[in-house]
């Protein structure tokens, strides 16, 4: 896993230059004057972007909770009918606290937040954490009521869950990286860049035990329909969608 990347800013506004300076100071990244030759961070339309500079035409990967795609899913995605929401048995009259231990670009976390859940993102990669923090900051500026439902912890998910002391957690969500066979150009681009950055999720199986120990109600694991169960552990049930299934591990009351 790459813990740092160069930050490249060119022909940008003073505000963006200040954002780059603060970014480097907070996360320990190095600002460079020459365009990176491989992976790097830059700003496009004031969004922090992870980019593979070996592909000049690539737009890069960013966390954007305000994108048309994410907002459309929030407005027209069916809310409580979403398979992910069903997997957590979310009710409109009760706010659940859920840890997303493998948040990626935060899209599933946003779905849970949009139905009233308090979602805590735990991300060990400084680069991905910086991307998530950038997305949350823009959400705070434009949809502060939604941003109240999402928070971020930079740390190793296994360690964070094992040492949790911040109050009861109703559920834990796991979506460990799995080799994708989708042909979507966007997914292929994102997965390729993420795999370059993060490597393979070799310790994914180790997430399940601390997740089950922490959650009061259930652990939900997202898997491609063809993928084996996590850690060889059969779930209590599964909620299926067209391309994925959500394996649900119900926690017995202690």
Range of the domain at 46: 6-52
> What is the predicted pLDDT for the residue at 7?
96
* Residue 165 placed within a domain: yes
Residues 16 and 103 in one domain: no
- 94 with 30, same domain: the answer is no
Burial-class residue 111 by CB neighbours within 10 Å (0-12, 13-18, 19+). Answer: buried
What is the count of structural domains for the chain?
2
Structure tokens at 38: 């491989």
- pLDDT tens digit at each of 254 positions of the chain: 778 899 999 888 888 999 999 999 999 999 999 999 999 999 988 899 999 998 877 778 999 998 877 766 666 656 778 899 999 999 887 899 999 999 999 999 999 999 999 999 999 999 999 999 999 999 999 999 999 999 999 999 999 999 999 999 999 999 998 755 554 555 566 777 877 888 766 789 999 999 999 999 999 999 999 999 999 999 999 999 888 999 999 998 75
Within this chain, do residues 175 and 233 fall inside the same structural domain, yes or no?
yes
pTM of the model: 0.91
Q: What is the CATH number of the domain that holds 120?
A: 3.40.50.150
| Residue 80: per-residue pLDDT | 79
Query: Are residue 12 and residue 99 in the same domain, yes or no?
Result: no
Identify whether the C-beta of residue 210 lies closer than 8 Å to the C-beta of residue 159: no
> Can you give the pLDDT at residue 75?
66
Q: Do 95 and 38 share a structural domain? A: no
What pLDDT, on a 0 to 100 scale, did the predictor assign at position 179?
59
Residues 47 and 89 in one domain: no
The answer to whether the beta carbons of residues 217 and 252 sit under 8 Å apart is: no
Residues with Cβ within 8 Å of residue 247, at least 6 apart in sequence? 220, 221, 222, 223, 229, 230, 235, 238
Residue 46 resides in a domain? yes
Let me know whether 115 and 43 are in one domain: no
With 0-12 / 13-18 / 19 or more C-beta atoms within 10 angstroms meaning exposed / middle / buried, residue 116 is middle
């Amino acid at each position: 896993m790459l813990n740092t990347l160069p930050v490249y800013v060119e022909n940008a506004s003073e505000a963006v230059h200040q954002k780059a300076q603060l970014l480097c100071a907070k996360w320990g990244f190095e600002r460079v004057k020459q365009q990176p030759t491989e992976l790097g961070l830059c700003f496009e339309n004031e969004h922090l972007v992870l980019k593979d500079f070996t592909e000049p035409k690539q737009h890069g990967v960013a966390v954007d909770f305000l994108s048309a795609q994410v907002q459309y899913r929030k407005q027209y995605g069916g809310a409580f009918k979403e398979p992910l929401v069903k997997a957590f048995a979310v009710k409109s009259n009760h706010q659940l606290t859920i840890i997303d231990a493998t948040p990626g670009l935060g899209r599933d976390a946003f779905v849970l937040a949009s139905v009233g859940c308090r979602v805590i993102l735990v991300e060990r990669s400084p680069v991905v954490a910086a991307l998530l923090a950038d997305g949350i900051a823009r959400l705070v500026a434009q949809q502060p009521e939604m941003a109240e439902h999402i928070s971020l912890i930079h740390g190793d998910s296994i360690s964070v869950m094992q040492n949790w002391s911040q109050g009861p957690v109703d559920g834990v969500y796991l979506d460990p990286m799995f080799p994708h066979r989708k042909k979507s150009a966007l997914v292929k681009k994102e997965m390729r860049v993420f795999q370059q950055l993060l490597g393979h999720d070799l310790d994914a199986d180790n997430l399940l035990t601390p997740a089950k120990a922490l959650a009061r109600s259930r652990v939900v694991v997202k898997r491609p329909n063809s993928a084996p169960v996590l850690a060889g552990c059969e779930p209590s049930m599964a909620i299926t969608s067209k391309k994925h299934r959500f394996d649900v591990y119900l926690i017995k009351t202690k």
